[in-house]
Structure 1
Amino acid sequence: MPNGYPSEQARAAARERLSKLGLSAKEWAERNELSPSTVYAVLNGQQKCLRGEAHRAAVLLGIKEGVVPDAPEQYGRRKTDIGTVIPK
């Protein structure tokens, strides 16, 4: 993500994961307390995902590596973590 935008390959992989879960982007966004429009923008490559909600969405979608301090337990947060590190 040298220019800040997630690669098409990473975005396609995230869409595939959502499909395997049987979730629409809107359903996934609501489950993760994110704006559906932000999730759609991340999945379509319209957000740089550098900070804020777009960063959070990209990390939770597995599009980029990063830290999300308030991630749900399903993302592997440990009690000793300052934040949740989601590998790419």
Structure 2
Amino acid sequence: MPGIRTAAQAKAWLEHQGKSVQAFAREHGVDPATTYQVLAGRKKGRRGEAHKVAVLLGMKEGIILAENEPLRQEQEILP
């Protein structure tokens, strides 16, 4: 990814694609309310669904694991 998007850039990116937040959430199978909260900065995207939303919006680097997929050693991030 060339860079991390700010919330304003993520909103502009959605608008550029002609997608609403609702459509983005449906397309990616995430909760629309969580998506709005991440875009508003009320959720930072540190874990769970908010993490997934932030990564999908390009607001954060990270990986998205399937619900029951274990973390493999090569996926771990070491300090």
With normalisation by structure 1, the TM-score equals: 0.67
Structure with higher Rg: it is 2
One-letter amino acid matched to 2:32: P
Deviation at 1:48, TM superposition (A): 1.9
Deviation at 1:69, TM superposition (A): 2.6
Q: Which has the larger share of helix?
A: 2
Q: Which has the larger share of strand?
A: 1
**Structure 1, unaligned runs of 5 or more:** 1-8, 71-81, 84-88
CA RMSD in angstroms comes to 1.6
Aligned twin of 1:52: 48
Q: Which runs of 4+ in 1 moved over 6 A?
A: none
Q: Deviations over 1:49-85 (max 9, x none)?
A: 1000000000000001111134xxxxxxxxxxx87xx
Identity value in percent:
41
- Cα separation, 1, equivalents of 2:34 and 2:53: 8
